[in-house]
């Protein structure tokens, strides 16, 4: 069990304890624990996509934003699922007997949108408008929401199967930094652009007619700018930026990429 799932269980247990007190003033503590539980189960779901999750997104802590990243990676990332297995009579044929391993319940994006921010509203003092109008917190509604969220979390955390993901993947070593790249090829997609998380080299993955995945790096062959030299150099697409330079291996001259504006007088 991951540390995130363990934290979610602890937070849910604390929330249940606060709800059991029947004291309205304790509901804000239940709301806080439930928010932390939602965050933890979402982080736990993200661990299933660790090799596909962009490192620059690691600082994202809001569950909604984390789930949106996961859904970009896998459109079924927040869907419930059922897992069974069986022995094929022959390759490609449906097994005659399937053994059910269990169902997985995921705390999905719709539920996050419905409850997460609402819980946060319980953690602040009443605004001036509410105070001036004499409006009191609706503790019955608050308790009902907390109970509903707790019930969903209990189903998520009691799933016998969790963080299961399936897909078609392509794995290869980056031609620039040799870091292993592993990317999912979404269903129905024949071509996909991917970046190396380590050095940002980019590639196009293409599904071929025989079912294989072809990898093509994004690179350019550039001829030396010296008109007396015909030597060419291959550079990555990410290196085509203002100020990037290289030394020609044939003539020894410096080639530098520069951006500029060329003026042309009107006729």
Question: What's the pLDDT tens digit per position in 69-117?
Answer: 999 889 899 999 998 989 988 888 888 899 998 999 999 999 999 999 9
Per-residue burial over 82-113, b = 16 or more CB atoms within 10 Å of its CB, e = otherwise: eeeeeeeeeeeeeeeeeeeeeebbbbbbebbe
Distance between CA 13 and CA 11 in Å, rounded? 5
Query: 150 and 76 in one domain?
Result: yes
Query: 78 and 127 in one domain?
Result: yes
In the chain, the number of structural domains is: 3
Query: 191 and 124 in one domain?
Result: no
Grade residue 2 by pLDDT with cuts at 50, 70 and 90.
confident
pLDDT of 141 over the 70 cut? yes
Contact 38, 153 (CB under 8 A): yes
Query: 63 and 182 in one domain?
Result: no
User: N- to C-terminal Cα distance for the chain?
Assistant: 73
Is the pTM for the entire model greater than 0.85?
Answer: no
Angle made by CA atoms 178, 180, 186, in degrees to the nearest 5: 135
Q: In this predicted structure, what is the pLDDT of residue 217?
A: 92
Query: 79 and 200 in one domain?
Result: no
Query: 73 and 139 in one domain?
Result: yes
Query: 249 and 137 in one domain?
Result: no
Query: 114 and 8 in one domain?
Result: yes
Segments forming the whole domain that contains residue 42: 3-88+100-157
Query: 144 and 60 in one domain?
Result: yes
Query: 16 and 122 in one domain?
Result: yes
Query: 180 and 108 in one domain?
Result: no
Distance between CA 11 and CA 61 in Å, rounded? 17
């Amino acid at each position: 069990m991951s540390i995130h799932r363990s934290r979610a269980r602890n937070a849910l247990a604390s929330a249940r304890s606060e709800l059991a007190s029947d004291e309205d003033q304790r509901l804000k503590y239940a709301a806080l624990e439930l928010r932390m539980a939602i965050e933890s189960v979402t982080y736990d779901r993200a661990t299933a996509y660790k090799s596909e999750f962009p490192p620059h997104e690691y600082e994202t802590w809001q569950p909604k934003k984390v789930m949106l990243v996961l859904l970009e990676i896998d459109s079924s990332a927040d869907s419930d699922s059922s897992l069974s297995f069986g022995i094929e009579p022959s390759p490609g044929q449906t097994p005659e007997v399937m053994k059910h391993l269990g169902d997985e319940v995921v705390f999905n994006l719709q539920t996050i949108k419905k409850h997460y921010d609402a819980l946060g509203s319980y953690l602040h003092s009443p605004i001036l408008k509410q105070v001036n109008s004499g409006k009191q917190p609706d503790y019955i509604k608050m308790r009902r929401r907390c109970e509903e969220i707790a019930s969903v979390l209990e189903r998520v955390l009691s799933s016998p199967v969790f963080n299961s993901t399936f897909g078609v993947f392509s794995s290869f070593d980056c031609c620039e930094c040799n870091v292993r790249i592993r990317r999912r090829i979404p269903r129905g997609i024949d071509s996909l652009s991917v970046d190396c998380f380590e050095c940002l080299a980019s590639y196009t993955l293409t599904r071929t007619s025989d079912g294989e995945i072809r990898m093509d790096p994004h690179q350019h062959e550039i001829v030396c700018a010296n008109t007396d030299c015909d030597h060419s150099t291959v550079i990555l697409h990410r290196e085509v930026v203002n100020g990037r330079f290289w030394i020609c291996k044939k003539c020894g001259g410096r080639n530098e990429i520069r951006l500029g504006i060329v003026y042309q007088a009107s006729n």
